[in-house]
Amino acid sequence: METLYHQTNKQIQEVQSLMGNLEKTDRQSVHLLENELQARIDQIFNQLERLEIVANKEPPNRRQNAKLRVDQLKYDVQHLRSALQIFQHRREAREAQDREREELMSRTFTTNDADTSIPIDETLQFNSSLHNAHRGMDDLLSSSSSILNGLRDQRSTLKGTHKKILDVANMLGLSNTVMRLIERRATQDKLIMIGGMLLTCIFMFLVIRYLG
């Protein structure tokens, strides 16, 4: 298990490093980088499925700790996937705004001898409203990203607390019944964390659907 665990952890770190290049990549190449990141994330998820199977086969005294380590990797890669999706939505919003601005700038206006009319005010007002809408979307997406970061920090805290409880339990030689209660609590914490992530993703989807 250790070999597969360290291999998966290394791949996650490589994806994290590549994510830092998204903002610096030019328009022509950013799509290629996004596709590469998505392919790597999919590969990591496949390895996590194998790793989860291996963790379940660990001896009872090491199984819980192995599951916690796999859950942490799974949470990290889910965070990376969410961050990539947020970047893609923001990029698509910027590109749509640029296209609409170019269409407005290239619009041809008709003229005649009696009257020459160019609806500058209407165009400026539309462009201003469009800009405000996209800026609001960026703010909401940034807030969603902050929420995901907060969930990740909470997960790390829960992991540390749970590990200390397991260490103390092993030192005191507590019964299997108590160990099962501790494992059940860990499962509840995991469900709460997953529920929070799902609510965040639903919120992001609604924002993108109705403000995008």
> What pLDDT, in 10s, does the model give residues 33-55?
899 999 999 999 999 999 889 88
Residue 141 and residue 204 in contact, taking contact as beta carbons nearer than 8 Å:
yes
Residue 131 lies in a domain: no
Q: Specify whether the backbone of 174 is left (phi greater than 0), alpha (psi in -120 to 50) or beta.
A: beta
- In terms of DSSP H, where are the helices of the chain? 2-19, 27-56, 60-105, 120-172, 176-211
Question: Is residue 43 within 8 Å of 11, Cβ to Cβ?
Answer: yes
Return the pLDDT at 43: 93
The position carrying tokens 């999919």 is 42
Q: Is residue 113 part of a domain?
A: no
Residue 74: burial class (beta carbons within 10 Å; 0-12, 13-18, 19+): buried
Q: Is residue 118 part of a domain?
A: no
Please provide the distance, in angstroms rounded to a whole number, between the alpha carbons at the two ends of the chain: 44
Of residues 77 and 103, more confidently modeled: 77
Query: What range defines the domain where residue 5 resides?
Result: 1-105+161-211
The mean pLDDT of 106-116, rounded to a whole number, is: 53
In a domain, 171, yes or no: yes
Cα separation, 97 vs 92, whole angstroms: 9
pTM over 0.85: no
Nearest to 186 by CA among 157, 148, 159: 159
What is the pLDDT confidence band of residue 156, given thresholds at 50, 70 and 90? low
| In-domain check, residue 99 | yes
**Model pLDDT, residue 29:** 85
106 membership: H or E segment, kind and range: none
User: 70-74, 89-93, 107-111, 139-143: which range is least confident on average?
Assistant: 107-111
What is the number of domains present in the chain? 1
Does residue 83 belong to any structural domain of this protein? yes
Residue 67 lies in a domain: yes
Distance CA 191, CA 184 (A): 11
Band (pLDDT 50/70/90 cuts) for residue 144 is low
pLDDT of residue 185: 72
Has residue 55 been placed in a domain? yes
The chain-wide mean pLDDT, for the chain, equals 75
